[in-house]
Structure 1
Amino acid sequence: MLNKYPLWKSLMVVFIISIGALYALPNVFGEDPALQISAGRNAEVTANTLSQLQDALEEKGLALKRSEFENGQILLRFNNGEDQLVAKELVAKELGQNYFVALNLAPATPDWLASIGGSPMKLGLDLRGGVHFLMEVDMSEAIRKQETQLVTDFRSDLREQRLRYSGIRAGAKGIEIRFRDEDTLYKAEDFLKQRNPNLVFEDDGLNLLVTMSEAYLSEVQKYALAQNITILRNRVNELGVAEPVVQQQGANRIVVELPGVQDTARAKEILGATATLEFRLVSEGADLNAAINGRVPPGSELFQSADGRPVLLDKRVILTGDHITGAQSGFSETSQPQVSINLDATGGNKMADFTRDKIGKAMATVFIEYKSTGKRNADGSPQFTKHEEVINTATIQARLGRSFRITGIDSPQESQKLALLLRAGALIAPITIVQESTIGPSMGQENIDNGMAAMVSGLLAVIIFMGIYYRKFGVISVGALVANMVLMVGIMSMIPGATLTMPGIAGIVLTVGMAVDGNVLIFERIREELKAGRSVQQAIHEGYANALSTIADANITTLLTALILFSVGTGPVKGFAVTLMIGIATSMFTAIVGTRAVVNALWGGKRIKKLSI
C-alpha cells in the first residue's frame, strides 16, 4: 500500500524528536546568579565553611535559593544579580584572602534532568559575558630553563664517560665548560656533539662554549608555548571554570576566554599562578645555622617551607614538573595520606637513574611561583618576581621510576591540594597578562535578544509564507521546522565542548531558511505529478522519491563547505560551521523523514480525490 510507514519507523521519528526535546529542555530553565568559593593553597573549604557563610548571609538578610558543597568547592545560588553582588563582598570579607570567591552563572537544570546528562547549551563569551585575557609567554625564561637542564645533562654525561672538567656554568653567551687539558676537551666535544646534534660547539683554549642553534631555539619556544597552553587548560578545568577557550595567538601569546566569569580578579588568581615544580635532594651534613646566617655551603641552596621553616637543598634539580602526566591523592598501607605520581618516559628514566643509589635520603618538592610586577625589562620582555617554597619533604624508600609515591604529608586535604597542583602541571615559562577585558552579562543578553529576534522574525516569515502557499502541507512543514530547531538545540546541548556564539546563532538563522528548501522541492514535485494526471497517492510517492536526490546533492555540497570552514577556520568561523553542519543533518531528517511520517499518517493508503497543497 502506497505511503504507509511501518509502525517501527513512525515510532523511531517520535523517539528521535522526543530525545531532542528532552535534552533541549534544560535551556528553558535558564541560569542562577551564583558565587563559587574555592580554597587557596593555605586554606580548606569544608562543610563548616558552608555553615559559616549561610549564617553570615542570613544575618544580613540575603536569601539563598540553594547551596551546594561538592569536590572541595561551595556554590551559592541567589534569586537575582543584586543579591549576588552584595553577597560577593560579604563572603570575601568573611573568608579573607586565602579563599577565591568568583561571580558565576550556574545552570538551574532540575536534578532529575541533570541526572540523565541534561545541561543547557554552553554560551560563548559574546553571549554569556565573561573575561578575556591576552597573555604573553616569557621566552627568555624558557630558554634559560633549557640551558639549566642542559648543564645538568652535561654534568651527568661527562661523569659517566669519566671526562674530568674544572667547571661548567650557563653564561651570557651560552654554556661554558672548562677543562684542564686539550685532550679531554676534544674527547668531550666529540662525545657531546654526537649526543646533541642541535647544539653548536666552539672551543677556545681550554674552554668549550655550547650554544643553541636557531632551529633548536625555535623548537624550545614552540614547545614552551604548546606546553603552557596545555597547562593553562588543565588549571582552569581543575579549578572549576567551565568551558574555557585557551588558544595560541602569534609566536609567544595565548588568548584565554572564560565565559560566565564576571570577576576579573578571580580569573587572574586562576591564571596568574604561573608556577613550576622541582624535585631536589635535601642537603645532608650541611650546617643549617651557618646557611641561615648567610654562609650557604657550595652546591646547596636555602629555601623555606610553607610554615616558614628553613630547608637546605642541593642546587641540582632532579626533575621538573613538566614531566608529570598524572597525580592522585590517596592513602598508604598504613592509612597515611600520600600522592601517587606518574611521569612521562623521559622523566621516568631521569628519576630512576638519579634515585638508584639514593634510597633512604630525603627528597623535597619545591613550589616556584612567578608574579608579574607590571613592568618590562630593557629588551621589552615582562618583568617577574620569584617566590620559592618547599611544599613537601619525603624519604626515598626505593628506586623510583615512572610511578612513585610521595608520603609524609600532614593531612588528606594537603595530599589533595598537592595532587591537584601536580596534575595541573608546571608552566615551562612564566606568563604575564598584557590585555584584559570583561564582557558583562547585560551585553551578552543583548546579543542573545538580537539573535533571537532575528531567528523569530525569520521563522514567522517562513511560517506565513508556507501556510498561505502550501496550505495543509505548509503547516506540516512548519511543524518540521520547529522540530528541526528543537533537535538542533538538543544536539548542541548534548555535545561536550560545543559552544554557541553569535556566529553560531547566524548559522541557526541560516538553517531556518534552508530547512524549508527540501519541503519546497518535495511539494512542488507533488504539484507537478498532480498536474500530470497522477493519483494523489502516486503524486505523494513520486514527489518524495524523485526530490530526494536533488535535496541530497544540495545539502551535501553545503555540508562539505561547512566541513572546510570548520577545519581551516578559528573561533567564530568554527562556531558558525558547527551549527550549520548540525542544521543540515537535522533539516534533512525533518524535511524528508519527519514530514513523510506525518503525511503518511494523515493521507497514506486512503482514497483521496483532492490534496490541500
Structure 2
Amino acid sequence: MLHIPTWKRVVIWALVACGVLLALPNVFYSRVEGHNDAAKLMEQSGLSTPELEAELAGWPSFLPSGLVNLGLDLRGGAHLLAEVQVADVYADRMRGLWPDVRNALRAERETVGPVRRLDAVAGELHVRIGEAAGMARAIDVVRDLARPIVSLTGVGASDIDVRGEGDVLIVTLSDAEKQATDRRTIQQSLEIIRRRVDEVGTREPTIQRQGDTRILIQVPGIGSAAELKALIGTTARLTFQPVVGRTADGTASAGVGNVVLPSLDEQGVFYIIEDRVVVSGEELTDAQPAFDQNGRPAVNFRFNPTGARKFGDYTADNIGSPFAIVLDEEVISAPTIQSHIPGGSGIITGNFTVEDSTQLAVLLRAGALPAEMTFLEERTIGPELGQDSIEAGAIACVVAFAAVLVFMWLSYGLFGLFANIALILNVGLMFGLLSLIGATLTLPGIAGIVLTIGMAVDANVLVFERIREELRRARGPARAIEQGYERALSAILDANVTTFLVAAILFTMGSGPVRGFAVTLGMGILTSVFTAIFVTRLIMVTWFDRARPKSIEV
C-alpha cells in the first residue's frame, strides 16, 4: 500500500539536489564572493588583470554562485539618516517660472508697464510692475500659466498661487502642489540614491523613507559613513548656463537674475552667470570617464533628443560666447563656443584625477538629487562586530540543531533518525532558496532560522504520533504509516499556512529587521513542509521497501 511512483521519487530527489547545490556556495563564502566581484568588475570595465583572473578562478563557473547576502549587522558597513531639504525644490520651481512670467507680462506691457524681478525669500517670486492699476490684469495673465496638479489629493487645484501687494506681484506654489512636490522629491531621492549605491556594486542596501522628509540608508560592506556620504551626499546637479562676466570679488553684485559662482579650478576667480538653465543634467542620457585631447581625465556626456536640440540651438546662436558648465554651484569649466554643436554630445574637462572623473560619471549617470540632504545621524559598524554577530548566530543555530537532533532520536528512535536526515536537508534547502532569491541575512533573520529549525520537526512529530495511534489499533506497519500521513496532513497544512500568513504580513507591513525575520521564517516554512510531507516519507518508504519489517516501533 505504500507506493510512490518512480517519477515522483526522481522529482523529489532532484529538487533536494538542486536546493543543496544552490546552498553550496555559502559554505565557501569568501571564495565565491571574490569570484562574483571579479566577474562583475571585468564585465563593467572590460579589463582583465592577473589578480582578477585569479579571483575568477577561485570558484568553478559551472557551479551556482548565488550567495545569501549578509546584512549590515553581520557584515559591517555604514548607516545614515538624511533629511531632504524639500524647500530647495520650491526655490528651483520659482527660478524656472520667471522666464515664462516675464514673457507673459511683457506681452501685456501697455497695461502693466515694465516688469522687474525683485529679490525675495526662497520659494517665492516677486515681480514689480510699472503700473499698479494693471495688477488685476497681471494676476490673470500669470494665473493662466498655472497647470493642474496631477495627484489624488490635488484634483482640481492648480500648481501656483498668485496675489498682488501694491505694485508687487507675488507667485508661490500652492499648498496642494507643495504636498505633491514633497512626495515626488522624496521618491526621486530614494530612486537616485539607490542607483548611486548600485553603481558601485554594494550588496543589498536598505534605502527607505522615514517620516515625511527623511531617508534611512544602510549599506553593508562599505568602508565608512564618510565614504557613503561622499557617494550619495553630492547632489551632482549639472547645468549649462550663459556667462555674463568674470570677477575676482566673490561678493560683487551680480544684478537681478544673475548669480556669482566660484570657479572649481581657478583660485580667486568667480563667474557671473545668468540664473537660468539652458540645458540640465536631467536631460543627460549617458556619462562616461574619458581623456581629452591632451590626455587629461575628463567626462564624455550625451543628451537626450530634447536636450540635444536645446544645446544645438544655443550653441548655434551664441558662437564666440562663453558657456558655463556648473556642478553643484561651482563652475567646473567655461569654454567659449567655437561652432554649432548639433550632435547633443560633448566633453567636460577640468582639473580631474582619474578617480574624480569616474565618480563624476557615476553621479551624472545616476541622476541629480532634486534637493540637498542634511545628515542627521551617521554611524559606521566595523566588520569585527559583524563577525562577532555571525559567530554568535552560528553557535545559536548549532546548539538548536543539535538539541533537536538528539530529542528526535531519543523520542522516536529509527524514525527520529529519518526526521533528522530530513531536517539536515531542510536547512540546506532553506539556504538554497534564500540564495536563489538573493535574500539578505540579518541577526533577526538568524533568529528566524533558529525558530524554523525548532518548528521543522513539528510536522514529523504529528505524523509519528498518528502512526503510533494507528499501531495501537492493531494496524499493520504499512497501513499505519499510510494512515498516519493521511490523517496528519490537514493539521500540518493548517499550522504551517497560518504561520506563513503571519510571516507574509510581517514582510508586507514591517521594515528592516522585521522583514529579514519574515523572509527566513517564510522560506523555512516552505522547506519544512516539503521535507516533512515528501522527503521524510520517501526515506521511510524506501527503508520499508528494503527491510519489509513485520512490525515497527515508533
Alignment-derived partner of residue 294 in structure 2:
none
**1:469 is aligned to 2:411:** yes
Distance 1:505 1:355, change over 3 A: same
Distance 1:189 1:124, change over 3 A: same
Alignment-derived partner of residue 200 in structure 2:
239
Distance 1:159 1:530, change over 3 A: farther
> Structure 1: which 5+ residue stretches go unaligned?
36-64, 79-106, 370-385, 399-403
1:430 Cα shift? Answer: 1.5
1:612 Cα shift? Answer: 3.9
Name the CA distance, whole Å, in 1 between partners of 2:81 and 2:422.
Answer: 44
Is the CA contact (8 Å cut-off) linking 2:22 and 2:436 kept in structure 1?
Answer: yes
Is the CA contact (8 Å cut-off) linking 1:291 and 1:297 kept in structure 2?
Answer: no
Name the CA distance, whole Å, in 2 between partners of 1:77 and 1:255.
Answer: 39
Aligned residue type for 2:13: V
Alignment-derived partner of residue 131 in structure 1:
78
1:71 Cα shift? Answer: 3.9
Instruction: State the identity as a percent.
Output: 35
Distance 1:424 1:312, change over 3 A: same
Alignment-derived partner of residue 141 in structure 1:
88
Alignment-derived partner of residue 143 in structure 2:
193
Which of 170, 179, 199 pairs up with 1:209?
Answer: 170
Aligned residue type for 1:135: A
Q: Alignment partner of 1:274: what SS?
A: coil
1:532-543 map, 5 Å: 532-543=473-484
Q: Deviation digits for residues 494-524 of structure 1, max 9, x if unmatched?
A: 223x211111111111111111111111111
Greater CA deviation, 419-428 or 465-474?
A: 419-428
Alignment-derived partner of residue 130 in structure 2:
180
Q: Alignment partner of 1:31: what SS?
A: helix
Name the CA distance, whole Å, in 1 between partners of 2:132 and 2:253.
Answer: 35
Which of 341, 358, 371 pairs up with 1:429?
Answer: 371
Q: Alignment partner of 2:344: what SS?
A: strand
Greater CA deviation, 170-179 or 540-549?
A: 170-179
Is the CA contact (8 Å cut-off) linking 1:364 and 1:393 kept in structure 2?
Answer: yes
Aligned residue type for 2:367: G
Which of 389, 396, 404 pairs up with 1:447?
Answer: 389
Aligned residue type for 2:16: I
Q: Deviation digits for residues 148-189 of structure 1, max 9, x if unmatched?
A: 223244345556888875123451282112223357543342
- The TM-score normalised by the length of structure 2 is 0.80
Name the CA distance, whole Å, in 2 between partners of 1:519 and 1:325.
Answer: 60
- The TM-score normalised by the length of structure 1 is 0.73
Alignment-derived partner of residue 14 in structure 1:
13
Aligned residue type for 1:248: R
1:194 Cα shift? Answer: 4.2
**1:405 is aligned to 2:344:** yes
1:604 Cα shift? Answer: 3.8
1:564 Cα shift? Answer: 0.9
Name the CA distance, whole Å, in 1 between partners of 2:335 and 2:426.
Answer: 57
Distance 1:605 1:529, change over 3 A: farther
Name the CA distance, whole Å, in 2 between partners of 1:367 and 1:116.
Answer: 49
1:241 Cα shift? Answer: 2.8
Aligned residue type for 2:423: L
Alignment-derived partner of residue 39 in structure 1:
none
1:75-224 map, 5 Å: 111-113=58-60, 117-155=64-102, 158=105, 165-169=114-118, 171-172=120-121, 174-181=124-131, 185-196=135-146, 197-224=158-185
1:317 Cα shift? Answer: 0.9
1:547-558 map, 5 Å: 547-558=488-499
Name the CA distance, whole Å, in 2 between partners of 1:438 and 1:179.
Answer: 55
Greater CA deviation, 505-514 or 22-31?
A: 22-31
Q: Which has the higher helix share?
A: 2
Aligned residue type for 1:176: H
Alignment-derived partner of residue 23 in structure 1:
22
Aligned residue type for 2:468: R
Is the CA contact (8 Å cut-off) linking 1:166 and 1:179 kept in structure 2?
Answer: yes
Distance 1:293 1:572, change over 3 A: closer
**1:508 is aligned to 2:449:** yes
Which of 294, 312, 325 pairs up with 1:366?
Answer: 325
Distance 1:147 1:300, change over 3 A: closer
Is the CA contact (8 Å cut-off) linking 1:393 and 1:408 kept in structure 2?
Answer: no
1:303 Cα shift? Answer: 5.9
1:410 Cα shift? Answer: 6.8
Distance 1:353 1:554, change over 3 A: same
**1:315 is aligned to 2:265:** no
**1:267 is aligned to 2:228:** yes
Alignment-derived partner of residue 45 in structure 1:
none
Name the CA distance, whole Å, in 2 between partners of 1:410 and 1:180.
Answer: 45
Is the CA contact (8 Å cut-off) linking 2:207 and 2:218 kept in structure 1?
Answer: yes
Name the CA distance, whole Å, in 2 between partners of 1:185 and 1:219.
Answer: 29
Q: Alignment partner of 1:279: what SS?
A: strand
Distance 1:351 1:302, change over 3 A: farther
Q: Deviation digits for residues 386-429 of structure 1, max 9, x if unmatched?
A: 5442388886644xxxxx73235679x89976643322211122
Q: Which has the higher strand share?
A: 1
Q: Deviation digits for residues 120-152 of structure 1, max 9, x if unmatched?
A: 321111111122122232334333223222324
Aligned residue type for 2:344: R
Alignment-derived partner of residue 255 in structure 1:
216
Alignment-derived partner of residue 571 in structure 1:
512
Aligned residue type for 1:389: I
Name the CA distance, whole Å, in 2 between partners of 1:578 and 1:391.
Answer: 53
Is the CA contact (8 Å cut-off) linking 2:261 and 2:330 kept in structure 1?
Answer: no
Distance 1:215 1:519, change over 3 A: same
**1:491 is aligned to 2:441:** no
Alignment-derived partner of residue 40 in structure 1:
none
Distance 1:263 1:73, change over 3 A: farther
Distance 1:294 1:134, change over 3 A: closer
Name the CA distance, whole Å, in 2 between partners of 1:493 and 1:223.
Answer: 34
Is the CA contact (8 Å cut-off) linking 1:304 and 1:390 kept in structure 2?
Answer: no
Give the total of aligned pairs: 519
> Structure 2: which 5+ residue stretches go unaligned?
147-157, 291-297
Name the CA distance, whole Å, in 1 between partners of 2:174 and 2:14.
Answer: 62
Alignment-derived partner of residue 149 in structure 2:
none
